[in-house]
Structure 1
Amino acid sequence: MKRYLLCLSAFLVTVAVQAQPGKTSRPNVIFIYTDDMGRGMLSSYGQQIVPTPNIDFLARGGMRFENIYGSMYCAPARASMLTGYSDVRKGKFALNRAGIYINYLKGQLTLPEVDARLEHFEQSEQPGMVLPQVFKKAGYVTGEVGKLEWGFATSRKQMAAHGWDYYYGYLDHRMCHGFYPMVMFENGEPVRIAGNTRPDSYLDSAALQGKDKPQYAENLFMEKAQQFIVSNKDKPFFLYYPTNLPHGPVSVPAIDPLFANNPRLTTHQKMYASMIKMVDDNVGRFTHLIDSLGLSKNTLIIFGSDNGHWLYYEGKQPKYDNITTPFYSDGGADVFNGNSGLAGLKETNWEGGVRVPFICYWPGKVPAGTVNRQLVANYDLLSTMADLLKVKVPDQKDGRSYLPSLLGKPFKPRDQVVFSSFMGPALVTHDGWKLRTYLLNNKQVFQLYHLPTDKQEKKDLAAQYPQKVDSLKQALTKACDGRLNNGIFYFTRLPATALGE
């Protein structure tokens, strides 16, 4: 495997040296989208244990966003980002159940049977124009490598309909929670991965890293992503790279030497740190390849994450009621401080569950070394790219373009950002007021925080400012299409049997 990767690297470098800069004036776009990468895991956001020099390079040479919101977990974040709709809307996109492709791997379903069972999910979507279609309309070649599209199970028909010229990776989110896949999908066709024989690779742990599973998913992704860039170096291209790192369970081919002898870290913590370093190393490979192809000044590189941090590497955690006692990393609850000291984790509507890292790097266009503190949502990306490419989007999206701000020009910030969670939706205003809800167990809790003076959400001001609560409640209800509950509108409630489970 190592010899194969070395040969591939040598091939790519040879091609790069021979390549000429692309002739297009439109920028290539590479979007590296990490999975559960808490903002506090990056040096530029305060990480102290794991250095991330390649991502830091993007931040120093570009723009780091401080006040951008994703979603509370992966599938709605991806759907929201790709469709341009917030995840509290009803009927704009749908999510189904994971696991149907596991039954294909076990021989219990054929691929045509999988397609047929996912057809209802496809019919339930009303997303309008989606992100790859924006690039297609502008004449770009589009490619996606990694954790493909949205939904917990993505159909081959959906991938084709949404405008991907090329794709490679997982179509099932249960499969992509493992790192030694038995099968990947390339342009609709299953590709067997030699040596990987476990259909349940999503159960990965150190105990499953046997001699029968030598091929690690991230290495396969990088090979295909680099090939896509080299093959399309003379055309405008959009590469969406949704890696499944550093989502758990923690699993790496080997602990990086940088952490091997660190007495502060447990084995699982060393493995997780190695996963973070692998992400950073691969960002460096992307920037090196683009530079060697002479495309640096004509390529916008975006680095982001879907949601907030999660503790895959820690032991059993205390229970938090998520009303008066959210998670905090203070006091050693998280050795890495992956949520950068904010309240909460993934799946919650606390800041630590939804604030994400986001960096844009485009030499000569994006002002170097800048920190953008304006309010931004993950569902703004589609509108921003459409603005950049002069593409008219026919449907009315929730997102708005932040292109002027990205280029260092005056920009009127959006008024508010909204997002869902399993406990209830939340709203944040441009001046830092946050209305947070907890609507489980027949509770109707509305909390008010002023983030500029209380970033850890420790002082609920709802009793002090009841009129502010009422006005924000009205705004949040309107954003949720007039129906304020736990905010989860986007599930297609197919029974398990419908997907072959």
Structure 2
Amino acid sequence: MSKPALSIFLALTTCACAQLPNIVIIYADDLGYGDLSSYNPDAAYQTPRLDQMAAEGIRFTDAHSPSTICSPSRYGLFSGQQIYRSTGRGGGAFEGPGGPSYLKPGDLTLGGMLQEKGYQTGVFGKWHVGLTWLDKDGKRLGGGFKNSPLIDYEKSTPLIDGPNERGFHESFITPNCPTTDPLYVYIENGMVPIPADQRYNPESTPNPGGKWRWDNDAGWMAPDYQFVGVDELFYEKTKSFITTHREKTPEKPFFAVLSTQIAHAPVLPSEEFNGATEAGPRGDFVFQLDAIVGQVIDLMKELEIDEETLILFNADNGAETVHVDWMRQDHDHDASGGFRGMKRDGWEGGHRVPFIARWPGRIPAGQVSAQMTNTTDIFATLASLVGYELPDEAATDSFDMLPAMLGTQPAEKSIRPHLLTQSFRGEFQIRQGDWKYLDHQGSGGNGYKDNVLEKYVLEENEPDAPGQLYNLKTDPGETTNLYFKEAAKREELQALLKKLKESGRSAPKNRKPLGMENIPKVKEK
């Protein structure tokens, strides 16, 4: 290419990129539908910055995580697909040197798609979709805590299936739940600066209220690893990525994922947030998350890019069992927001989660949407925004929610004709309008005969039914199983579920992006 032609090409490329918005996803952990005050008027504390974010954008009231546990939901975020597309079934949460990645080589990922559109991409915080670790003989290690000391870091790094091999230019992550599941190390751009060569004793970490350190497992850790204030570290890494990028290449858009530890167990609020609310350590913890969201918004304003930045807030599943129980008992706070179930369960409390989008330049403020949506939809929505035409074999469970965000979709017309979720054991739930069919008995996740959950057991009106059918319009609490009474609807949903599983997709084919040229600016009032 001649120099004049190259100059024209670069100029055109720069112009195209400059028109695209910056994108930030804040992905919370184990945050229930009722954990934000904009979703729960009876919350035991306030979340003012997230409430502000909702007031300045759109808040979805029928949003769902792909799964009711961490790793499969994160696969859904990064791939736009349900976990069974990767595994053929469900998918567990990784512990120790667990892997390989659910994100297969050659799969189009969210970061990879945006890289193709000229974005500088980064992910910071909890990764937890699996990594390949090798021992001294070059053999892949299985998961579990006992295998951590067998890792040969020289042979294992740079990681062959870490974020930098799955669509991200920069990364600073933990392999699993940052303060729950060893291996406790930081991974920066595929490398482990300081290996895990010390035994971690949970007794060395604070235990707020005498019980909130629950699920902080002993194991192997790097000597520089921190358990209190880890989300501030993740935020600082995100901030550094954004500010450095703006200094060096301001003409290019950026895509950053801030994947928090909050509100996963253990509950370890930073010192400055202890006592910040009257709702105990977990209330303080969620308030700390709220403050971090506020820091992200304030950073966009300081950099004078607020109008050109889309911020999405979402969560990977409902609140943890003991968290739901303790918050109800101690503070009259319902993290499940009135819905049945919690983390791991196929009932609504396990997968109905907050979802907020804010983009002052393009998304009209003050919207509340009842559009049915899934975290997997973020993929097709962002593809539509940036003008990327998705191939049919990619993001096969992802629907474009951009019309809903822009306020152009009629409220009475659902973008999604159906929605899939999977519970802890990989069992399926399917929605069609107000109807929900659970292809299993019971919760699909937690056992409700233990001392913590037995108080929440509901008497089953159809104990012999092999599945469950509910009308969420008349029965949002999923209390009356209509499996036999509404047999025709149940058979219709069973047939639809079978079809969607066998077809290899639930999203439509030939998806056409909207593109920035068709997204009007919000008119000033």
Contact 2:69 / 2:93 at 8 angstroms: preserved in 1? no
Residue 177 (structure 1) aligns with: 180
Q: Distance in 1 between matches of 2:319 and 2:102?
A: 33
Map of 1:212-227 to 2, 5 A cutoff? Answer: 216-227=229-240
Letter in 2 for 1:253: S
TM-score, normalised via structure 1 length: 0.75
C-alpha displacement of 1:437: 2.7
Residue 360 (structure 2) aligns with: 363
Residue 297 (structure 2) aligns with: 287
Q: Would the alpha carbon gap of residues 444 and 26 (structure 1) be closer, same or farther in structure 2, given more than 3 Å must change?
A: same
Q: Which stretches in structure 2 are left out of the alignment for 5+ residues? A: 1-15, 134-155, 217-223, 445-462, 505-525
* Greater displacement, 473-482 / 55-64: 473-482
Q: Distance in 1 between matches of 2:225 and 2:124?
A: 24
* Greater displacement, 219-228 / 135-144: 219-228
Q: Distance in 2 between matches of 1:100 and 1:202?
A: 20
Residue 448 (structure 1) aligns with: 469
CA RMSD of aligned residues (A): 3.5
Contact 1:94 / 1:125 at 8 angstroms: preserved in 2? no
1:373 aligns with 2:370: yes
Contact 1:153 / 1:172 at 8 angstroms: preserved in 2? no
Map of 1:134-283 to 2, 5 A cutoff? Answer: 134-148=113-127, 150-151=129-130, 156-158=159-161, 159-173=163-177, 175-177=178-180, 183-192=185-194, 199=200, 206=207, 216-233=229-246, 234=250, 235-254=252-271, 256=273, 258-259=275-276, 262=278, 270-283=280-293
Map of 1:430-469 to 2, 5 A cutoff? Answer: 431-439=433-441, 445-469=466-490
C-alpha displacement of 1:255: 7.1
Q: Distance in 2 between matches of 1:311 and 1:274?
A: 18
Q: Would the alpha carbon gap of residues 435 and 341 (structure 1) be closer, same or farther in structure 2, given more than 3 Å must change?
A: same
Q: Would the alpha carbon gap of residues 142 and 284 (structure 1) be closer, same or farther in structure 2, given more than 3 Å must change?
A: same
Q: Distance in 2 between matches of 1:435 and 1:352?
A: 15
Letter in 2 for 1:172: N
C-alpha displacement of 1:275: 1.0
1:345 aligns with 2:347: no
Residue 80 (structure 2) aligns with: 84
Letter in 2 for 1:61: E
Q: Would the alpha carbon gap of residues 443 and 29 (structure 1) be closer, same or farther in structure 2, given more than 3 Å must change?
A: farther
> Of 320, 329, 332, which residue of structure 2 is paired with 1:335?
332
Map of 1:63-74 to 2, 5 A cutoff? Answer: 63-70=58-65, 71-74=67-70
SS at match of 1:374: strand
Cα deviations across residues 444-490 of structure 1 (Å, max 9, x unaligned)? 6221111112111112222221111111011112223389xxxxxxx
Q: Distance in 1 between matches of 2:204 and 2:440?
A: 32
What percent identity do the matched residue pairs reach? 27
SS at match of 2:256: strand
Q: Would the alpha carbon gap of residues 349 and 97 (structure 1) be closer, same or farther in structure 2, given more than 3 Å must change?
A: closer
> Of 490, 499, 508, which residue of structure 2 is paired with 1:478?
499
Cα deviations across residues 27-86 of structure 1 (Å, max 9, x unaligned)? 100000000011201010015212110001110000000111102111111101211112
Q: Distance in 2 between matches of 1:314 and 1:468?
A: 32
Q: Would the alpha carbon gap of residues 41 and 245 (structure 1) be closer, same or farther in structure 2, given more than 3 Å must change?
A: same
Residue 456 (structure 2) aligns with: none
Q: Distance in 2 between matches of 1:80 and 1:446?
A: 25
Contact 1:311 / 1:334 at 8 angstroms: preserved in 2? no
> Of 96, 100, 104, which residue of structure 2 is paired with 1:125?
104
Q: Distance in 1 between matches of 2:35 and 2:337?
A: 8
SS at match of 2:368: strand
Contact 1:87 / 1:419 at 8 angstroms: preserved in 2? no
Q: Distance in 1 between matches of 2:498 and 2:73?
A: 20
Q: Distance in 2 between matches of 1:125 and 1:415?
A: 28
> Of 380, 392, 395, which residue of structure 2 is paired with 1:383?
380
Contact 1:79 / 1:151 at 8 angstroms: preserved in 2? no
* Greater displacement, 73-82 / 125-134: 125-134
Contact 2:132 / 2:160 at 8 angstroms: preserved in 1? no
* Greater displacement, 409-418 / 37-46: 409-418
Contact 2:37 / 2:46 at 8 angstroms: preserved in 1? yes
Of structures 1 and 2, the one scoring higher in RCO (CA 8 A, sep 6+) is 1
Contact 2:86 / 2:103 at 8 angstroms: preserved in 1? no
Q: Which stretches in structure 1 are left out of the alignment for 5+ residues? A: 1-21, 102-116, 317-328, 484-501
Q: Distance in 1 between matches of 2:503 and 2:274?
A: 54
SS at match of 1:183: coil
C-alpha displacement of 1:152: 7.3
* Greater displacement, 33-42 / 442-451: 442-451
Q: Distance in 1 between matches of 2:103 and 2:122?
A: 25
SS at match of 1:308: coil
Q: Distance in 2 between matches of 1:34 and 1:343?
A: 21
C-alpha displacement of 1:382: 0.7
Q: Distance in 2 between matches of 1:467 and 1:96?
A: 33
Contact 2:83 / 2:91 at 8 angstroms: preserved in 1? no
Contact 1:417 / 1:428 at 8 angstroms: preserved in 2? yes
SS at match of 2:357: strand
Q: Distance in 2 between matches of 1:297 and 1:99?
A: 40
1:36 aligns with 2:30: yes
C-alpha displacement of 1:124: 8.4
Q: Would the alpha carbon gap of residues 99 and 383 (structure 1) be closer, same or farther in structure 2, given more than 3 Å must change?
A: same
Letter in 2 for 1:183: V
Residue 5 (structure 1) aligns with: none
C-alpha displacement of 1:421: 1.4
SS at match of 1:66: strand
Q: Distance in 2 between matches of 1:157 and 1:307?
A: 28
SS at match of 1:41: coil
Residue 420 (structure 1) aligns with: 422
1:26 aligns with 2:20: yes
Q: Would the alpha carbon gap of residues 343 and 127 (structure 1) be closer, same or farther in structure 2, given more than 3 Å must change?
A: farther
Q: Distance in 2 between matches of 1:379 and 1:23?
A: 25
Contact 1:205 / 1:250 at 8 angstroms: preserved in 2? no
Q: Distance in 1 between matches of 2:202 and 2:89?
A: 28
Q: Would the alpha carbon gap of residues 205 and 346 (structure 1) be closer, same or farther in structure 2, given more than 3 Å must change?
A: farther
Q: Would the alpha carbon gap of residues 201 and 142 (structure 1) be closer, same or farther in structure 2, given more than 3 Å must change?
A: farther
